[in-house]
């Protein structure tokens, strides 16, 4: 089967749907996806500035969480365009929680200097954002296809001109003038993640194979509080930071506060700080988890605000209201990704990237809580606007297939990445990871794992969510971004940076 459209969007989370919605009036669009990705699982909310001075503060909080490594122009785009995008989402029918006076209810999460996070269904924000966007996209008549992307089409001149997808047991060839990757992060390249299992970095591998470059791949964010279910692999239930925003605190096995004295914002310090403190406590105590104690928060508030968390807790027989619950960090978000400009254009002509798969520089070395849904809304619209103004030229002549391939040993790759490139890294472990990955083939998971490992090996300092125990301080000589490309053998490589 061969189809031709103006734009193929791969992925149907917040970023993909926002892109499709923005294009629907002017371009023929096909949304291709194998599942809905991480968006419906997002709990905490959408962080969005309000009032005249808050964009500045929101930008400052974003940059502080990002360890000063954010691109200030991109951050400005996020915080200044965000309020309008959220207002449009509400106009499309998204039902955010409101106070008795009808104003939006706003909460606090780690790294925020004031409560600016809007939420829906208590802690079911992602599901509501997704529902509203999907309904809006369906009203436009944009076409969708359920299927797994197995390759890209490239013209003789190197332009990306379409997609190959497996759908209903058949191979579909979709020719397009632009392909937008909105494939989310790399969660399941790790053993335990808050992402659903199809999310494993296929977009990253596709982009590399199509000639694009990656940046900041060492900045992999671990959420401090995934529910410790006893499972060591697969998707773990999230316990939103907003629980700490409402007053819950982290405790060790002896009941002592973990974050006391470690950071001025204590339990609401940026995510990387809290996740590392938990990891250090677990290592010290030889335990598999710490405790999140919400027993001093009003029970009716917990029940109203956190129905999703309460339901996850009930499934493992614990009760957020009356007892501390077991939590541990799990992979959550890729702050780097496919290098793009502020309109989603990658280094590969015809190929765009948006949302978690993209690296616009907005997250720096560590994403601020609840900035990800906002990123999808803001940059999805920007990609759509750019492709409305100018669509790349149609491909002429023959096209070549750039295939994603298959991994022979996915579980071994996940184990290697989790062991050596998790919250804590050092040269010896990263070299061991590279050695062990040498025989892992060139499948998508192996490509993603190598990309993280080469980037983490190259950056010999610590900042944001990249923590090198052998280089524990931020060193201004490493202020450059680490860029990853494929070498002649098709393996991810990075130019070895020289400290300046
Ligand atoms: C959370 O609710 O804690 C997660 C939200 C996010 O990833 O920003």
| One-letter-per-residue 3-state SS of 263-331 | CCCHHHCCHHHHHHHHHHHHHHHCCCCEEEECCCCCHHHHHHHCHHHHHHHHHCCCCCCCCCEEEEEEE
Contact residues for 81 (Cβ-Cβ < 8 A; gap 6+):
378, 381, 382
Q: Please provide residue 383's backbone torsions phi and psi, each rounded to the nearest 5 degrees.
A: -65, -45
Q: Is residue 202 within 6 Å of ligand 1 at its C-beta?
A: no
Cβ atoms within 10 A of the Cβ of 488, count? Answer: 6
- What would the mean pLDDT of 342-371 be, rounded to a whole number? 97
Q: How far apart are CA 58 and CA 113, in angstroms?
A: 8
| Alpha helices (H) in 185-270, listed in sequence order | 202-209, 242-245
CATH fold of 2-185+332-400 reads FAD/NAD(P)-binding domain (3.50.50)
Q: How many CA atoms lie within 13 A of 277 on its CB side?
A: 24
Site to probe by mutation for ligand 1, drawn from 308, 372, 376 as the one with most ligand atoms within 8 Å of Cβ, is 372
For the segment 289-302, what is each residue's pLDDT rounded down to a tens digit? 999 999 999 999 99
Q: How far apart are CA 110 and CA 240, in angstroms?
A: 10
Q: Is residue 43 within 6 Å of ligand 1 at its C-beta?
A: yes
Q: Is residue 331 within 6 Å of ligand 1 at its C-beta?
A: no
For the segment 139-152, what is each residue's pLDDT rounded down to a tens digit? 998 999 999 999 99
**Stretch (H or E) spanning 371:** helix 371-389
**Stretch (H or E) spanning 379:** helix 371-389
Q: Please provide residue 103's backbone torsions phi and psi, each rounded to the nearest 5 degrees.
A: -75, 160
Active site residues: 271
* In the predicted structure, residue 157 carries a pLDDT above the cut 60: yes
Q: Is residue 241 within 6 Å of ligand 1 at its C-beta?
A: yes
Q: What are the residue boundaries of the structural domains of the chain, listed by start?
A: 2-185+332-400, 226-330
CATH of domain 226-330: 3.90.700.10
% of the chain beyond a pLDDT of 70: 99
Ligand 1 mean position to 241 CA, how many Å? 6
CA of residue 204 relative to chain centroid, distance: 12
- What would the mean pLDDT of 81-110 be, rounded to a whole number? 96
- What would the mean pLDDT of 304-316 be, rounded to a whole number? 97
Q: How far apart are CA 348 and CA 22, in angstroms?
A: 22
For the segment 176-185, what is each residue's pLDDT rounded down to a tens digit? 999 999 999 9
Q: What pLDDT sits at residue 397? A: 76
**Average pLDDT, whole number, for the chain?**
95
Ligand 1 mean position to 207 CA, how many Å? 26
- What would the mean pLDDT of 303-328 be, rounded to a whole number? 97
Q: How far apart are CA 59 and CA 468, in angstroms?
A: 27
- What would the mean pLDDT of 296-325 be, rounded to a whole number? 97
* Token pair of 164 as six digits: 């190959």
Ligand 1 mean position to 39 CA, how many Å? 11
Give the pLDDT band (50/70/90) at residue 497: low
* Token pair of 415 as six digits: 């184990």
Task: Please say whether the beta carbons of 234 and 79 come within 8 A.
Answer: no
Q: Is residue 440 within 6 Å of ligand 1 at its C-beta?
A: no
Task: Please say whether the beta carbons of 209 and 152 come within 8 A.
Answer: yes
For the segment 423-452, what is each residue's pLDDT rounded down to a tens digit? 999 999 999 999 999 999 999 999 999 999
Place of tokens 């990891």: 279
Q: How far apart are CA 103 and CA 324, in angstroms?
A: 32
Q: What pLDDT sits at residue 496? A: 55
**Stretch (H or E) spanning 14:** helix 14-23
Could you give the maximum distance between any two Cα atoms of the chain, in Å?
Answer: 69
Same fold, 2-185+332-400 and 226-330: no
Give the pLDDT band (50/70/90) at residue 198: confident
Q: What pLDDT sits at residue 500? A: 45
**DSSP letter for each residue of 56-101:** HHHHHHHHHHTTT-S-HHHHHHHHHHHHHHHHHHHHTT----B-TT
């Amino acid at each position: 089967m061969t189809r031709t459209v103006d734009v193929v969007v791969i992925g149907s989370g917040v970023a993909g749907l926002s892109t499709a919605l923005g294009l629907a009036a002017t371009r023929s669009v096909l949304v291709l996806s194998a599942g809905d990705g991480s968006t419906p699982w997002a709990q905490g909310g959408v962080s969005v500035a309000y009032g005249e001075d808050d964009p500045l503060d929101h930008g400052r909080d974003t940059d502080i969480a990002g360890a000063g490594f954010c691109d200030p122009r991109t951050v400005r785009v996020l915080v200044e365009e965000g309020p309008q995008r959220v207002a449009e989402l509400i106009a499309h029918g998204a039902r955010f929680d409101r106070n008795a006076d009808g104003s939006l209810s706003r909460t606090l999460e780690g790294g925020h200097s004031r409560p600016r996070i809007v939420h829906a269904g208590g802690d079911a924000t992602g599901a509501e954002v997704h529902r509203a966007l999907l309904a809006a996209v369906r009203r436009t008549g944009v076409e969708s296809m359920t299927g797994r992307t197995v390759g890209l089409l490239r013209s003789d001149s190197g332009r990306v001109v379409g997609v190959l997808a497996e759908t209903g047991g058949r191979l579909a060839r979709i020719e397009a003038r632009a392909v937008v990757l909105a494939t989310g992060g790399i969660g399941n390249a790790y053993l335990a993640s808050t992402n659903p299992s199809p999310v494993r970095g296929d977009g990253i591998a596709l982009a590399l194979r199509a000639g694009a470059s990656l940046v900041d791949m060492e900045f992999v964010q671990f959420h401090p509080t995934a529910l410790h279910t006893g499972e060591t692999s697969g998707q773990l239930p999230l316990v939103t930071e907003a629980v700490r925003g409402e007053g819950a605190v982290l405790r060790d096995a002896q009941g002592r506060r973990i974050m006391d004295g470690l950071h001025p914002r204590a339990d609401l310090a940026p995510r990387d700080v809290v996740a590392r403190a938990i990891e250090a406590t677990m290592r010290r105590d030889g335990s598999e988890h710490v405790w999140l104690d919400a027993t001093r928060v009003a029970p009716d508030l917990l029940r109203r605000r956190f129905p999703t968390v309460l339901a996850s807790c009930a499934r493992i027989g614990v009760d957020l209201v009356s007892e501390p619950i077991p939590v541990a960090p799990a992979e959550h978000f890729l702050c780097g990704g496919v290098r793009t400009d502020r309109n989603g254009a990658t280094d590969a002509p015809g190929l765009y990237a948006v949302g978690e798969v993209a690296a616009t520089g907005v997250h720096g070395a560590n994403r601020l809580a609840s900035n990800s849904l906002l990123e999808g809304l803001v940059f999805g619209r920007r990609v759509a606007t750019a492709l409305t103004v100018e669509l790349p030229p149609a491909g002429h002549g023959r096209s070549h297939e750039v295939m994603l391939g298959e991994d022979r040993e996915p579980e071994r790759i996940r184990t290697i990445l989790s062991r050596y490139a998790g919250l804590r890294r050092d040269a010896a472990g990263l070299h061991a990871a590279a050695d062990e990955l040498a025989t892992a083939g060139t499948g998508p998971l192996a490509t993603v794992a190598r990309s993280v490992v080469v980037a983490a090996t190259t950056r010999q300092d610590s900042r944001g969510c990249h923590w090198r125990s052998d280089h524990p301080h931020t060193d201004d000589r490493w202020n450059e971004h680490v860029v990853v490309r494929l070498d002649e053998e098709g393996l991810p490589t990075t130019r070895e940076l020289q400290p300046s």
